């Protein structure tokens, strides 16, 4: 793709991702041009490309509606067909301020005033002059296909105390086929939205008025979570982990040692107790260190793998909260491994094996693996010694090679305290979700002086690793709901079977069947409401209950049930014991269907 740069030169862009970004960013200029022509009173905010498309922020008393989006889109198409060029120019900062202040664009002026350099670049498109670094497509006839998607409220610079703006979202692609595919996936994602399904399936709610960003797990959501936790507890115990519980609040002293008090304060909830500052824990690591340090540790006790379903609280801006995926309180399937340097490789391999096994058990078999390394040119930005970073990164690479997993390496992406491996799973709609992580820490062991007595009887600093498999219960639940569109596999389904008696006189047999299934540890309910069976079937089908067991005279006489499953419909009469066997078998094998 040909692009025009800020200095006026034209060059070729061959990287498809970069080209798409330029295409989308250029389309956002076209949208701003159309909006300023249709609504001359608007003030412009910013208009970047995003991973999904682009947006532009506008300040205006007019409230944009769905119909307005159609009008704007039509205007954009008109403007595009007149083949307008993107015209760059370099201007001085003073000149730029004069231009935008003169045009009444006070938001733009504010941004320019904060710029460091003495010059910046303008791009003119028709009657719209915007400042940005480009590059852009050469002219509007080089734009692809686009669609405006929605409008939402936003704040200038994401700050609730500043001007309220309206953000118009759109997307753009090179071809019609790509756009159609994207819109189809959006439609599918909307149907699977965990916030909507969470309400419809009675899994959880968020009560904005009393607890924004915090989750109330209803009985059905809790039933799923209990299955997940029991499964993890069993797998981790088998893998040599020990489980602990740690306090939810602790004195600020603990967080001063860990460094969070100084560097993470704006995300922490603090509360005064007896004239002292206490902190609601944002992380479980210091608590696990307290347990590790409760006695002198010998090399013979290592590796020590301390696990906790640890509930943590982190302040997030209200604008960033999103259902179960971005919350202010969540329970991590957290663990910390304390070990000797020579034990690290087998610990990484064990963690990768565990993540592989656990994620596959939940029906996910496509992963993206990322290794985040440090930037060796700037050792001053990192905790720990350069040789420790070298060894740690080499160990992570070695483990990934041993596992035979392809991965991408990201230089300079590691956090300041250590390199890490992240595993993202790919869901049914092809979306990546960051869940599992294995992370070295060169910082906390030094700050807390975490040691063990070696075979030489001397104290050595322990290696500390943070690791999570699912990330958090909330986020994982959100991902599960969207991946399965609410139709959980039998082993996870909150209600695995529901019994539907045809009339009142079958209630006795229905209760008998219910007891039989409950004794076999199947999560079952009887629906004894005075409604037609057809009505109840439709309702439980919408609730995505795996099995509906209809009982009438024949079934009671023959000790059978008429089985319907949510994917295959009517399966006919089956003996009671066989049904128990069928459901237990699907649960035991963690089958995804039916």
Q: List residues with catalytic annotation.
A: 285, 314, 332, 334, 336, 420, 466
Q: In what order do the strands lie in the sheet with 497-501?
A: 524-526, 497-501, 547-551, 560-565, 569-575
Residues in the interface with Zn ion (CB under 5 A) total: 3
- Which residues 65-124 are close enough to bind Zn ion by CB under 5 A? none
Which region, judged by CB under 5 A, interacts with Zn ion, from 201-209, 239-247, 461-469, 555-563? 461-469
Measure the CA–CA gap between 174 and 176, rounded to whole angstroms. 7
Measure the CA–CA gap between 568 and 547, rounded to whole angstroms. 10
Nearer to Zn ion among residue 283 and residue 480 (C-beta): 283
Residue 562 CB, nearest approach to Zn ion (Å): 52
Is residue 57 within 8 Å of 166, Cβ to Cβ? yes
Residue 565 CB, nearest approach to Zn ion (Å): 42
Helix (H) or strand (E) holding 20: helix 16-38
Residue 306 CB, nearest approach to Zn ion (Å): 10
Closest CA to 7 of 86, 84, 90: 90
Cβ-count burial 498-519 (b if 16+ within 10 Å, e if not) = bbbbbeeebeebbeebbebbee
Q: How far apart, in Å, are the Cα atoms of 563 and each of 234, 254, 548, 593?
A: 32, 58, 6, 15
Nearer to Zn ion among residue 226 and residue 242 (C-beta): 242
Which region, judged by CB under 5 A, interacts with Zn ion, from 89-97, 277-285, 380-388, 521-529? 277-285
Measure the CA–CA gap between 493 and 221, rounded to whole angstroms. 9
499 CB-near residues (< 8 Å, 6+ apart): 510, 513, 514, 517, 524, 525, 526, 527, 549, 551, 561
Nearer to Zn ion among residue 55 and residue 547 (C-beta): 55
Residue 336 CB, nearest approach to Zn ion (Å): 6
CA R_g for the chain = 29
Q: What share of the chain is helix, strand, coil (3-state, %, to 5)?
A: 40, 30, 30
Report the residue from 132, 344, 373, 551 that binds Zn ion according to the rule CB under 5 A: 132
Residue 128 CB, nearest approach to Zn ion (Å): 10
Report the residue from 72, 285, 307, 479 that binds Zn ion according to the rule CB under 5 A: 285
Which region, judged by CB under 5 A, interacts with Zn ion, from 312-320, 338-346, 458-466, 509-517? 458-466
Q: What is the DSSP string of 194-239?
A: HHHHHHHTT-EE--TTT-TT--EE-HHHHHHHHHHHHHHHHHHHHT
Instruction: Say which DSSP state 486 is in.
Output: T
Closest CA to 214 of 264, 269, 263: 269
Which region, judged by CB under 5 A, interacts with Zn ion, from 128-136, 175-183, 425-433, 548-556? 128-136
Nearer to Zn ion among residue 166 and residue 439 (C-beta): 439
Residue 6 CB, nearest approach to Zn ion (Å): 9
Nearer to Zn ion among residue 260 and residue 466 (C-beta): 466
Which region, judged by CB under 5 A, interacts with Zn ion, from 85-93, 107-115, 373-381, 466-474? 466-474
Binding mask 407-446 for Zn ion (x = CB under 5 A): ----------------------------------------
Residue 466 CB, nearest approach to Zn ion (Å): 3
Measure the CA–CA gap between 287 and 298, rounded to whole angstroms. 20
Closest CA to 307 of 240, 390, 402: 240
Which region, judged by CB under 5 A, interacts with Zn ion, from 206-214, 280-288, 348-356, 372-380? 280-288
Residue 260 CB, nearest approach to Zn ion (Å): 11
Nearer to Zn ion among residue 308 and residue 514 (C-beta): 308
Nearer to Zn ion among residue 132 and residue 580 (C-beta): 132
Nearer to Zn ion among residue 216 and residue 416 (C-beta): 416
Q: Is 466 in the site for Zn ion (CB under 5 A)?
A: yes
Is residue 493 within 8 Å of 540, Cβ to Cβ? no
Binding site for Zn ion (CB under 5 A): 132, 285, 466
């Amino acid at each position: 793709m040909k692009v025009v740069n800020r200095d006026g030169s034209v060059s070729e862009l061959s990287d498809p991702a970069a080209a798409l970004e330029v295409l989308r960013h250029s389309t956002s200029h076209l949208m701003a041009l159309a909006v300023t022509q249709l609504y001359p009173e608007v003030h412009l905010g910013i208009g970047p490309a995003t991973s999904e498309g682009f947006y532009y922020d506008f300040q205006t008393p007019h409230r944009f509606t769905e119909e307005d989006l159609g009008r704007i889109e039509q205007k954009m198409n008109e403007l595009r067909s007149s083949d307008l060029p993107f015209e760059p120019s370099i201007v001085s900062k003073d000149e730029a301020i004069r231009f935008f202040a003169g045009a009444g664009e006070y938001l733009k002026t504010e941004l320019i005033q904060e710029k460091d350099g003495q010059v910046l670049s303008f791009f003119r498109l028709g009657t719209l002059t915007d400042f940005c670094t480009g590059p852009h497509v050469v002219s509007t006839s080089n734009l692809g296909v686009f669609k405006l998607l929605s409008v939402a409220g936003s704040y200038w610079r994401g700050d609730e105390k500043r001007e309220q703006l309206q953000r118009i979202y759109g997307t753009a692609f090179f071809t019609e086929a790509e756009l159609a595919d994207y819109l189809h996936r959006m439609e599918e994602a909307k149907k699977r939205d965990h916030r909507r399904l969470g309400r419809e399936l009675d899994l959880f709610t968020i009560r904005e008025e009393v607890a924004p960003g915090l989750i109330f797990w209803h009985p059905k959501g809790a039933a799923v979570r209990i299955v997940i936790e029991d499964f993890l507890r069993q797998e981790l115990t088998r893998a040599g982990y020990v489980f602990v519980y740690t306090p939810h609040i602790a004195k600020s002293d603990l967080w001063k040692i860990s460094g969070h008090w100084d560097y993470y304060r704006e995300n922490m909830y603090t509360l005064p107790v007896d004239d002292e500052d206490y902190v609601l824990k944002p992380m479980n690591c210091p608590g696990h260190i307290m347990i590790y340090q409760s006695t002198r540790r010998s090399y013979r006790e290592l590796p020590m793998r301390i696990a906790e379903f640890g509930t943590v609280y982190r302040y997030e801006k209200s604008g960033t909260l999103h259902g179960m995926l971005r919350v202010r309180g969540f329970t991590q399937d957290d663990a910390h491994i304390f070990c000797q340097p020579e034990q690290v490789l087998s610990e990484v391999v064990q963690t990768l094996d565990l993540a592989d096994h656990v994620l596959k058990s939940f029906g996910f078999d496509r992963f993206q693996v990322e290794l985040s390394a440090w930037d060796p040119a700037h050792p001053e930005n990192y905790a720990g010694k350069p040789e420790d970073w070298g060894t740690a990164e080499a160990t992570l690479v070695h483990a990934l090679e041993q596992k035979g997993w392809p991965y991408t390496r990201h230089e300079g992406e590691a956090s300041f305290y250590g390199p890490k491996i992240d595993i993202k799973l790919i869901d049914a709609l092809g979306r990546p979700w960051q869940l599992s992580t294995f992370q070295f820490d060169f910082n906390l062991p030094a700050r807390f002086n975490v040691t063990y007595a070696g075979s030489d009887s001397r104290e050595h600093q322990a290696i500390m690793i943070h690791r999570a498999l699912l990330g958090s219960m909330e986020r994982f639940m959100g991902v599960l709901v969207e991946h399965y569109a609410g139709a959980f596999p039998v082993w996870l389904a909150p209600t695995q079977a529901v019994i539907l008696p045809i009339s009142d006189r079958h209630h006795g047999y229905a209760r008998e069947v219910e007891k039989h299934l409950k004794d076999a540890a199947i999560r079952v309910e009887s629906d004894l409401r005075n409604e037609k069976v057809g009505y109840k079937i439709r309702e439980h089908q919408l609730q995505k209950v795996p099995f509906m067991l209809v009982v009438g005279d024949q079934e009671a006489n023959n000790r059978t049930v008429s089985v319907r499953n949510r994917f295959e419909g009517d399966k006919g009469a089956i003996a009671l014991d066989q049904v128990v066997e069928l459901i237990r078998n699907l649960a035991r094998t963690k089958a995804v269907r039916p």
